[in-house]
Structure formats: structure tokens, C-alpha cells
Amino acid sequence: MDQGLISTATATARARRGILNGLVTVLSRSHGLACAALIALSLVMFLPGFTVLPPMDRDEPRFAQASKQMLETGNFVSIRFQQEARNKKPVGIYWLQSATVALAESLGIDSARSTIWIYRIPSLIGAVAAVLLTYWAGCVWLESRYAFMAAALMSATLLLGVEARLAKTDAVLTATIVAAMGALARLHAMRDSKTAASASPSFVLWLAIGVSVLIKGPIVLMVAGVASVALSIKDRSGRWLRQACDLRAIAVALIIVAPWFVAIALDTHGAFFRDAVEGDMLGKVAAAREAHGAPPGTYLLGSLVTLWPIAPLALIAAPAIWRARGDDAVLFLLAWLVPSWLVFEAVPTKLPHYVLPLYPAIALLVARAAERGLLLADAPWKRFALALLPLPAGIVALAIPYVTLLYGDRADLAGALIATLATLGAGFAAIAFARKRVEQGCAVLLVAAWLLFVGVYQFAIPRLQAVNVSPRLAFLIGKSPCVPQALASAGYNEPSLVFLTRTDLRLTNGADAARFLALPGCRAAFVDIRQEGEFTKSLAAISKTPNLLGRVLGVDLNGGRHLDIGVYANGG
């Protein structure tokens, strides 16, 4: 090959690395610039598909519907899904969602209460905050460019990307726990300081704890608590925790938490605590709940996907991290990560998002290894681990045409092509890491992650019409000759249908649906094929023939059951 061409290619590669290095250097000079860049990066990662994804049964519409009912009733203490009390999680996320919807209504957004993406905005903000707080926590020990690296990698993490797009608790919970752990890290770092300690970390710690408890109960106390115990055992002293025992800061947490907990205790006569603690939390600890049981090690294995693209980097950094466990940064991050991970692995009930608040610790450990020049693929098994970088994207690229053909109207080739580009990008990133070009590898990984998010969320999932049953049923109601003032559903009881139609949707059987349509006023009913026999028989008995507005064929996302649902209206 012409030596001139080789020299030109080498010069071009060096110029690109120089530009990237210069950009990172500029961003790392100012926390303000770094935070602005992380906000922009996070939005680029999290917004594809944000407004087009339908309500994802079952948890997301349950949260959204309970928030909607707060607005409908004006009761912001009790949490209900239709008439059922949701005594599982505290009220924080419902308040955030209700406030967001109320703001959207005040801005004139039509049908804000039945628009799911508006309820997702607190999760989006929580995910962005988790990225920013990862940077803030990392700045305790790392150079700002490496704290920035960790935060940027968090924005690309698959699991955080999922939670940013769901109207649930976990993105906001992650942000509050990262804030608490960042404050705790500052308290631990000040333990040997000769100067007077600042009260700010204590206030941040207890503010984060108060908000976190109001979002999802005592999870933050477990994560911060076991980390504090582990650090105190290693230091052979817990005196550093005296700084956290600031009564003024603790009072802030109590002011945040106590009013609602007192109100809900009075409103439910103590039933909330009985159901939430004994029924939900302790029930999950004692045995697998809601068909989500799995053996220990499940989270570790699952992290190869949910922690992509950080997981392969964590694998190759693991030996160096363990050797450096005496380092203050590594010690703290392992105390954040390991004890809580073991607790989650030991609990029989397992859901992927449970370990999400621990992922920033892994991102920061990887960045610490990179800062020390230890993120090296210097062994055959490490090069094999790097080969895992393009694997999840490649699997997605192959799956998109098949899944969209199976559950949609045609194979989505555009989404598959974009995911293929993501696979190639991840492959180039693996090569960059193998050549010790860490920052270049991270930059290419971010592009690959964005391409994957676009291919999946913006193109593939919206084409899965067979699983988007509730939106199509709600659409058919618009064909009724009159505006239904009451609705019933026989055989299809997904929470998304309640959210998209009416809070008073009657969930019943075929015979009762027929009698329901015979009542005065404009009414409509959704009747699954399994209830059609009793429905038709009851209609014949009362000599009624409602209008068939249409049928919706699909698949129940929870269980895979095939659906054939007729939509009937009585014409008023």
C-alpha cells in the first residue's frame, strides 16, 4: 500500500483524536459547561420514542391512572386505581405526575390527562438528574473529564433509557439515591480533614433521603446504610458519620416525609402501612411475588444486557478495580455497590430495575480505572469481553424485522438498518478500546447507543400494532353514533384501557356487558371473543342488538394470549 496513504490516514485519525480530546478538555474546565453538555446528551438519548410509545401495561398505566384520579377527585393523600387502594408505594411520584399534567393543562395541551407521555416527564427529568448527579458524585475523587465519562456512559445505559420512558418511580428513585451517595461520599472524604466540615453534604444527604422515601420508601436507607456500615468496618471507626447527624438536616427530611405519612395513616386507618410493609415489601423479601422469582446471580447475568454498554468495560476493569480496593474512591464505590447488590440477589423477587441505583457506582469504577490507565484489554479473555459490546445491538438488529413482522403490519427494515449501524459503531468502539483509545471508544459508544435507541423506540416498537391493543380500542369509541357516557369491558382488563378511556370503566363479563348496554343512555362495551357467547345469549334474551363499531385483533403483552375484541355501542 502507498506509504503516503498510510500517513494520511494516520494523520486524520490523530486529528480526530485531537479534536475529541480538545472538546473533552474544554468541557472539563467548567462544571457548568459539563452539566449543559450532559443535559443535552441525556435528552438526545432519552427522547427518541418518548412521545410515540403507547402506555406499557401493566405498571405504567397503573401509576398514571392513579395520578389522573388525584386530579379528578382532588384527593392528593390516598392512592387509588379505580376503586382499589394502591397501598404499595408512597405518594411522591403521583404528586410529580399530577403536577406535570396540571401544568400541561394550564398550558392548553389538549387531552393532557389521557396523554401518557406527559406523565413520563418526571421520569425523564429523574433520568437526566441521575446522569448529572453521577458526574457530581464522581467529582469527589475523579478528574472532571473522567467524572464526565462516567455520567455520559450512564446516559447510554439500556436500563436507564427504559426507565426514562416509563411513568414509574425508578428513574426518580435512582436520582435521589445517587444524590444521597454523592453527599455521603463527600462526608467520607472529609473524615481526615483538619478544616471545619461543611454542613452542605449533610443537608443534601437528608434532603435526598426525604425525597427518596416519599418516592419509594426505605430503599435509600438500605443502600446508604449498608454502605456506611461497610465503610465504618473498613475504617474501624464510624466517627465520620457524626457529620451526618446534623439535627437541622434530619429535620428537613422529617418535614418532607412526615405530613403525608401521618395523613395516609389517618386516611386508611393504618392500612397503608400494613399493606405496603407487610404485604408488598416484606412479602417480596420472603418469597417471589407476581411471578418474578429468580435465583441468586440473575442480576449479574442480566447486567450484560441492562448495563450495556458499561458491562463489558466493567468486566475488563474488574481485576484492576479489585487490586485498587484500598484506594478511597474504589473503596467507597465498592461499598455502594457490593453489599446492596448481594441484598438484591438474595431477595427472591427480582425485577431488572431494582439494581438500577447501583449502576452509577459501576460507571464511576470504570471511569476510575480509565483515569489510572487500567482500562486495558491486555489479555485474551478481556478482548473476548470487548466482543460483547456489539452483541446486544446485533441481536436487536436481527430481531427487529422478525418481531415487527410477527406483531406488526410489516417488517421494519428502517429500524433494523439503524440498529445495524449501532452494531457497527459498537464494534468500532471495541476496536478503539483494544487500542487503548478510551475516550474515542466512549464517544463512538455514545453514538452507537443513540442509534440503537432511535431504531428501537422511534421505529420498531411503534409498529407493534398487535400488542398496542388499548389505543386501538379507545380509537374505535370515536366511531360511536353518540358519545358514550359509560363504558364496560368483558374479558380484557388491562390498566391501559382504563387510563385511555374512563376511570369508571366497568370490568365485567359477557352477560353483564349485554345488560349494561341495555341500560338507558349512550353506552359502549368491549367484549373479548371468549365472552362473546354469553354476551350474544344475553342480548337475545333481552331483545337488544347493539352496533358493532369494529373488532381489534392482537396479543396480550402479559401472557401472550391472542385477543379478538368487539367494540359495541347501543346508539343512545
pLDDT digits (tens, 9 = 90+) for 334-348: 999 999 999 999 999
**Mean pLDDT calculated for residue range 340-369:** 96
User: Are residues 473 and 496 in contact, defined by beta-carbon separation less than 8 angstroms?
Assistant: no
CA distance 567 to 521: 17
User: Are residues 472 and 508 in contact, defined by beta-carbon separation less than 8 angstroms?
Assistant: no
Nearest to 165 by CA among 64, 46, 68: 46
When mean pLDDT is compared across 19-33, 40-54, 147-161, the lowest value belongs to: 19-33
C-alpha cell of residue 320: 484492576
Q: Between vectors from CA 304 to CA 298 and to CA 309, what angle results, nearest 5°?
A: 150
Q: In this structure, which topology does domain 469-569 adopt according to CATH?
A: D-Maltodextrin-Binding Protein; domain 2 (3.40.190)
Beta bridge partner(s), residue 550: 567
Given a cut of 70, is residue 19 above it in pLDDT? no
Angle at which helices 170-189 and 328-346 cross, to 10°: 140
**Mean pLDDT calculated for residue range 470-492:** 94
Q: What is the pLDDT of residue 5?
A: 42
**Mean pLDDT calculated for residue range 543-570:** 92
pLDDT digits (tens, 9 = 90+) for 68-127: 999 999 999 999 999 999 988 899 999 999 999 999 999 999 899 999 999 999 999 999
CA distance 24 to 149: 9
Q: What is the pLDDT of residue 424?
A: 98
Cell 466512549 sits at which residue? 442
User: Are residues 157 and 307 in contact, defined by beta-carbon separation less than 8 angstroms?
Assistant: yes
C-alpha cell of residue 298: 440473575
Q: Which secondary-structure segment (H or E) carries 93?
A: helix 92-106
CA distance 205 to 35: 21
Half-sphere exposure in the Cβ direction for 122 (13 Å, CA): 27
Residues shown for the chain: 572
User: Are residues 325 and 177 in contact, defined by beta-carbon separation less than 8 angstroms?
Assistant: no
Beta bridge partner(s), residue 526: 489, 567
CA distance 365 to 333: 7
Given a cut of 80, is residue 534 above it in pLDDT? yes
Q: What is the pLDDT of residue 4?
A: 47
Residue 413 amino acid letter: L
pLDDT digits (tens, 9 = 90+) for 188-235: 998 876 655 677 999 999 999 999 999 999 999 999 999 999 999 999
CA distance 164 to 355: 15
CA distance 375 to 430: 12
The three-state secondary structure class of 398 is helix
Delimit the domains of the chain by residue range.
Answer: 20-51+122-371, 376-463, 469-569
Around Cβ 549, how many Cβ atoms within 10 Å? 18
Given a cut of 80, is residue 3 above it in pLDDT? no
In DSSP notation, 272-302 reads HHIIIIIIIIHHHHHS--TT-B--TTHHHHH
Around Cβ 377, how many Cβ atoms within 10 Å? 21
C-alpha cell of residue 420: 445495524
Edge-first strand order for the sheet with 562-569 is 506-508, 486-490, 523-528, 562-569, 547-555
DSSP strands (E only) in 400-555: 486-490, 506-508, 523-528, 547-555
pLDDT tier at 523, thresholds 50, 70, 90 = very high
Whether the upstream peptide bond of residue 437 has omega within 30° of 0, thus cis, is no
**Mean pLDDT calculated for residue range 148-170:** 98
In DSSP notation, 332-343 reads HHHHHHHHHHHH
How far CA 483 is from CA of 297, 486, 493, 518, 569, in Å, comes to: 53, 9, 22, 16, 10
Q: How far is CA 141 from the centre of its chain?
A: 27
**Mean pLDDT calculated for residue range 142-165:** 97
Angle at which helices 328-346 and 359-371 cross, to 10°: 150
- Mean pLDDT, all residues of the chain: 92
What is the separation, in whole angstroms, between the first and last Cα of the chain?
Answer: 82
User: Are residues 46 and 485 in contact, defined by beta-carbon separation less than 8 angstroms?
Assistant: no
CA distance 338 to 564: 48
pLDDT tier at 18, thresholds 50, 70, 90 = low
Q: What is the pLDDT of residue 198?
A: 73
CA distance 560 to 417: 27
User: Are residues 570 and 517 in contact, defined by beta-carbon separation less than 8 angstroms?
Assistant: yes
Given a cut of 90, is residue 393 above it in pLDDT? yes
Q: What is the pLDDT of residue 6?
A: 44
Angle at which helices 144-155 and 121-138 cross, to 10°: 150
Q: What is the pLDDT of residue 9?
A: 45
CA distance 331 to 339: 12
Given a cut of 60, is residue 443 above it in pLDDT? yes
When mean pLDDT is compared across 43-52, 247-256, 273-282, 406-415, the lowest value belongs to: 273-282
pLDDT digits (tens, 9 = 90+) for 554-567: 998 787 889 999 99
Q: Characterize 333-364 residue by residue with b for buried, 16 or more Cβ atoms within 10 angstroms of its Cβ, and e for exposed.
A: bbbbbebbbeebbebbbbbbbbbbbbbbbbbb
